[in-house]
Amino acid sequence: MATLFTKIINREIPAKIIYENENVLAFEDINPQAPHHVLIVPKVEIPTINDLTPENVHHVGNLFLAAKDIAKQLGVSERGYRVVMNCNAEAGQTVFHLHLHLLGGRRLSWPPG
């Protein structure tokens, strides 16, 4: 069964898409935690960080290259932004399709959760 994010990638579920290339899709988080809060997802389904291998880890690189581009697009590259990825229950992962949170537009505090 396709994940929620695959359904967004396939335009079966609406989302505020702000960026797309052949490898990744990025859209606004529906429950934003900062003035800019974007989810960046690979177009292939990889459930968690625990499922990364030398063969598929280039998808993470693609998420980070997209994060850099999106930060520039949003005007936060120089001010700063944070990227976060959750793995499993204690981190609060709810969709088991790898996704990088990008937060920016305000001072981000520490600890990160």
Is the CB of 11 or the CB of 58 nearer to its own copies? 58
Nearest CA-CA partner of 77 in 53, 102, 45, 100:
102
Buried b or exposed e, range 83-102, using 16+ CB within 10 angstroms: beebeeeeeebeebbbbbbb
Tokens describing residue 32: 């934003």
Contact by Cβ (8 Å): 5, 11: no
Contacts of its own copies in 6-35 (CB under 8 A): 33-34
Interaction of residue 112 with its own copies, rule CB under 8 A: yes
Contacts of its own copies in 61-100 (CB under 8 A): 61-62, 64-65, 67-68, 71-72, 76-93
- Is 99 an active-site residue? yes
Burial of residue 42 (number of CB atoms within 10 Å: 0-12, 13-18, 19+):
buried
Interaction of residue 113 with its own copies, rule CB under 8 A: yes
Interaction of residue 43 with its own copies, rule CB under 8 A: no
Q: In the complex, what is the shortest distance from the CB of residue 12 to its own copies, in angstroms, rounded to a whole number?
A: 27
Total residues in contact with its own copies, by rule CB under 8 A: 47
Tokens describing residue 58: 């280039």
Q: Which residues are near its own copies by CB under 8 A? A: 33-34, 49-50, 52-54, 57-58, 60-62, 64-65, 67-68, 71-72, 76-93, 101, 103-104, 106-113
